[in-house]
Amino acid sequence: MKATVKVLIVLALVAAVAGTVWLKGAQHAAGAAGAGAEGDTEKPGKPLPRLLDLGADKCVPCKMMAPLLEELKEEYAGVLEVEFIDVWKDPEAGERYGVQLIPTQIFFDASGEERYRHTGYLAKEDILAKWRELGVDLGPTREKEPAFSRWEPAGPAPEHGEACYLCDGVVEPRTRVVLETPQGAVRFCSPHCYLIAYASMTDESKSHDAVTVSDWATGEPVSLTDARYLYTLDASGRPVIRAFADEAGAAAEQARSGGSILALAQLEKKETANLCGFCDRPVYPEDASVVRVAGMQTWGCCVMCALGVAARTGRDIEVEARDALTGEPVRVTTFEGHVAELDPPTAVAWGGARKDEDGKVVSTGCFKQAFFTSEANLRQWAEANPRETGRQLSIEEALAAKMKLTPEQISKACKIGECSPR
């Protein structure tokens, strides 16, 4: 009897288990059927071409790739899949994809087939060009609008009267320099700005004959070539130049303020002692950006020319500039024509420019370019300078514009247009 009961209990248990298995299987089948029905209304997304970047978060070119990968991911969402794998943290991925050097970019078409791979830094525009070359249509180039731009002055013209042709500074009566040209008089705020413009002129017949400078004591115009110049330094070490009609006038002021009395030829030598490493314009180191290249130091007369030293020399450079609003340092290190390090990483550039009659963007000159430690500083500066026009740029965009210049364009930089009276 007991044996019979045990057998019945076992059979009951088997039946119960079988029933449970069947029930779960039925539920799974029902669930699968439900999922299938739901899938009929929500079809899987269309396969996308994929850009896979295999690198690490510490190598220099890998770090340079990071921001542009984020830009591509944002700008081409739904069109291009962008993926990054840190092979130092996931070495198996490196082996799986046959990576030998980093960073490595692999281009896969929508079917998952590898179409191309590249080792090293690859610029955003080169990535997009490669997709076009491979016949992969990502649609029109999705250029981002600058975060801030202004193409028309936001304030009235200054009421101070004359503005310097070169720097737009106020032309004070006692430091005025006037160059007479067939098109009319061109005025400068100081001998310094005039000599910069003179150095920029390419006409071999140029001379100082048609130039006058104001006598510091009387304000009367005297011949630039006949004048005597009192050369002193201000508290920052920046030169201060005062012109006088004769030696006696210069000596009288020298007795009060010190300094050296110079003839024009001597003054020109001092003024041209330091030149921009990109465009060869005379600069005051106190005004310029510092550029280090190949173990040497040179200058950039403006922040854009400082970046241009990388294009002119074909070498990696280090730039130390100043925020145009606060004077805080902005440091840029390049690698193979791209920004490798930026301190602070929030730094941005202002590309001083205007639009001509045809809508083409043209530079407003070296004195209109600037770096800022942040977009907030740029906007505050723009509010304080409502006449300035141009657009916000990333430092990489500013550098890229210089790296695109041909040797002929570099040789003509700052020698035509804004810097030469015409």
How many CB atoms are located within 10 Å of the residue 412 CB?
A: 14
- Are 217 and 265 members of one domain? yes
Number of domains comprising the chain: 3
Does residue 284 share a domain with residue 267?
no
Q: Based on the domain organization, do 402 and 294 belong to the same domain?
A: yes
Q: Can you give the pLDDT at residue 366?
A: 87
Of 271, 304, 328, the position where a domain reaches its end is: 271
The pLDDT value given to residue 350: 98
Structure-token pair, residue 49: 């071409």
Average pLDDT value for residue range 321-337: 97
Confidence of residue 87 (pLDDT cuts 50, 70, 90): very high
Question: For residue 409, what are the domain limits?
Answer: 275-419
Angle between helices 395-403 and 303-313 (to 10 degrees): 50
Q: How far apart are CA 125 and CA 142, in angstroms?
A: 11
Domain boundary among 271, 303, 329: 271
Q: Which parts of 144-238 are beta strand (E)?
A: 149-150, 177-181, 184-188, 211-214, 221-223, 228-233
Give the lowest-confidence range in 137-151, 218-232, 308-322.
Answer: 137-151
Same domain? 282 vs 410:
yes
**Are residues 360 and 392 both part of a single domain?**
yes
CB under 8 A, 24+ apart: contacts of 144-150: 144/71, 144/75, 146/391, 146/392, 146/393, 147/348, 147/375, 147/392, 148/375, 148/378, 148/379, 148/382, 148/391, 148/392, 149/390, 149/391, 149/392, 150/382, 150/388, 150/389, 150/390, 150/391
pLDDT band at 81 (very low <50, low <70, confident <90, very high): very high
Are residues 282 and 238 part of one domain?
A: no
Same domain, 264 and 330: no
**pLDDT tens, residue by residue, 112-122:** 999 999 999 99
In a domain, residue 2? The reply is no
Asked whether residue 391 is domain-assigned, the answer is: yes
Pairing of strands 81-86, 50-55: parallel
User: Would you call 348 helix, strand, or coil by DSSP?
Assistant: strand
What is the Rg, in whole angstroms, of the alpha carbon atoms belonging to the chain?
A: 34
pLDDT class of 159 with cuts at 50, 70, 90:
low
Whether residue 19 lies inside any domain: the answer is: no
Of the listed ranges 42-56, 70-84, 260-274, 278-292, the one predicted with least confidence: 42-56
Same domain, 254 and 313: no
User: Are 253 and 363 found together in one domain?
Assistant: no
- Residues 11-30 have a mean pLDDT of 32
Res. 46 pLDDT band, cuts 50 70 90: confident
What pLDDT score was predicted for residue 142?
Answer: 63
> CB under 8 Å to 236, separation ≥6 — which residues?
286
pLDDT surpassing 90 at residue 402: yes
Q: Which structure tokens are listed for 337?
A: 């024509």
Instruction: Kindly tell me if the per-residue pLDDT of 416 is higher than 60.
Output: no
The verdict on residue 240 lying in a domain is yes
Q: Flag whether 159 is in a domain.
A: no
Mean pLDDT, the chain, whole residue set: 87
Q: 295 and 386: one domain?
A: yes
Same domain flag for 310 and 390:
yes
Residue 32 has pLDDT above 90, yes or no: no
Residue 37 lies in a domain: no
Question: What local confidence, expressed as pLDDT, does residue 180 receive?
Answer: 94
Whether 139 shows a pLDDT value over 50: the answer reads: yes
Residue 388 has pLDDT above 50, yes or no: yes
Q: Given this model, what pLDDT does residue 203 score?
A: 85
**Which of 133, 160, 187 corresponds to the end of one domain?**
133
* Residue 1 clears pLDDT 70, i.e. is over it: no
In a domain, 152, yes or no: no
Q: Which residues are catalytic?
A: 59, 62
Residues 291 and 206 in one domain: no
pLDDT at residue 3 greater than cutoff 50? no
Minimum mean pLDDT range among 22-36, 184-198, 204-218, 269-283: 22-36
Average pLDDT of span 54-60? 91
Residue 42: inside a domain? no
Report the pLDDT value the prediction gives residue 144, as an integer from 0 to 100. 63
What is this structure's pTM?
0.78
Length of the chain: 422
- DSSP one-letter code for 170: B
pLDDT, one tens digit per residue, over 235-259 is: 999 999 999 999 999 999 999 999 9
In whole angstroms, what separates CA 163 from the centre of its chain? 28
Determine the average pLDDT of the residues in 199-203.
88
**Do 115 and 107 touch, CB atoms closer than 8 A?**
yes
Give me the CATH number covering residue 305: 3.30.450.410
Residue matched to tokens 């070296």: 366
Share of the chain above pLDDT 70, in %: 86
CATH of the domain at 76: 3.40.30.10
* Single-letter residue type at 138: L
